[in-house]
Structure 1
Amino acid sequence: MLCILLGVLALHLLVFILLIVSTASNEKGHSDLWYSCLSEPKAYSCSQASNEDWIQAVQALMILAVVFCFVSLLAFAYQLFRLFKGGRFYFTSIFQILASVFVMCAAIIYTVMRPSNGKGFGYSYVLAWVLCLFFIVLPPLNARCS
């Protein structure tokens, strides 16, 4: 049982770190949430992301996902030591599901609204979709920890 709890705690930490990386990364030659960077043969230049409403919505949703994931991590750690034996991790699961919804909505908005200028999406976009899968797996794992 201790191995399962430590594994779920490690998975919570991994998801939180990957979510921060996905949200805050700046990729060379790609447009991301915060900057649009161009790499030329002898120069590298970055400019702010556009001030359009959709990119600000994506930024806000990803920040909310980081906050809810962090609260979920804290709630899991608190419930791990304070919950009576046989109790359920509903509070943690609710915050994980909310973080999942925010990441999924942000990725969908980014997919639909991003102008296609021949550039690829980059690793942070792929990482956001992979995190959606992790967020789907975590709540049932939290339920098994009781």
Structure 2
Amino acid sequence: MSHDNIVLAWTVGESRSSYLWFHCHTPNGGSFCKPVPTGGWIQAVQGIMVLSVLYCILSLFFFLCQLFYLQKGGRFFFTGIFQIISSLLVLSAAVIYTVQSEYWVNEEEEEGFGFSYMLAWVAFPLALLSGLVYIFMRKVQAFPSKGEDPTDKVMLSHAPQLLNW
């Protein structure tokens, strides 16, 4: 089995691997791939993962918009909400795949989960954490504007409030 197949696969075995969009069999050194059967659960996982990526891209877009147009002291609510939705979508897809993939796994071949499957489980808490950070993060001014005192430490002046001092 090639390195690319192991990296992209959600389930891997000695002579076959399963992805979100296709299955591959590697008998006698050759590789034969075909689209996954159209079942309700795999299409749900595919759609949910696509939605997760879209929500993540939207959160990046909202972050850039809020970075330039949000008032000083405002919070990045839209960015955080969309990032949290993205993380929950990844969680949903990974749970559905975990529960339903047992019907795909060939016990005689000792198949296991691949790198992409594990990456989905790592992406969930990281996206959730970043969404929570965005919600609690406030926009502050790091550099003084024209006419402001450059010795005013805006970042440090908020530290007692952030730490509840």
Quickly name the TM-score band, shorter chain normalised.
Answer: 0.7 to 0.9
Please state how far the C-alpha of 1:26 moved relative to its aligned partner.
Answer: 4.0
Task: State whether residues 30 and 121 of structure 1, in contact with CA within 8 Å, keep that contact through their aligned partners in structure 2.
Answer: no
For structure 2, the residue ranges without an aligned partner over 5 or more in a row are: 1-6, 140-165
| Residue 137 (structure 1) shift | 1.1
Q: Which residue of 2 aligns with 1:140?
A: 132
User: Are 1:108 and 2:101 an aligned pair?
Assistant: no
- Does structure 2 retain, via aligned residues, the 8 Å contact 1:65–1:100? yes
Match of 2:118 in 1: 126
Q: In 1, are the aligned partners of 2:25 and 2:31 still within 8 Å (CA)?
A: yes
| Residue 67 of structure 1 pairs with residue 54 of structure 2 | yes
Ranked by relative contact order (alpha carbons within 8 Å, sequence separation 6 or more), the top structure is: 1
Secondary structure, counterpart of 2:74 in structure 1:
coil
- Deviating 4+ runs (over 3 angstroms): 25-29
Alignment of 1:24-39 (within 5 A): 26-27=8-9, 29-39=16-26
Supply the distance in 1 between the matched residues of 2:124 and 2:80 (Cα, whole angstroms). 14
More helix by share: 1
Unaligned runs of 5+ in 1: 1-24
Conservation of the 8 A alpha-carbon contact between 1:65 and 1:98: yes
Q: Provide TM-score, normalisation by structure 2.
A: 0.69
Q: Distance in 2 between matches of 1:94 and 1:26?
A: 29
Say whether the 8 Å CA contact 2:22–2:34 is kept in structure 1.
Answer: yes
Aligned Cα root-mean-square deviation (Å): 1.6
Distance (Å, rounded) in 2 between the aligned partners of 1:46 and 1:64: 25
**Rounded Cα–Cα distance in structure 1 between residues aligned with 2:80 and 2:34:** 38
1:96 alignment counterpart: 83
Shift of 1:73: 0.6
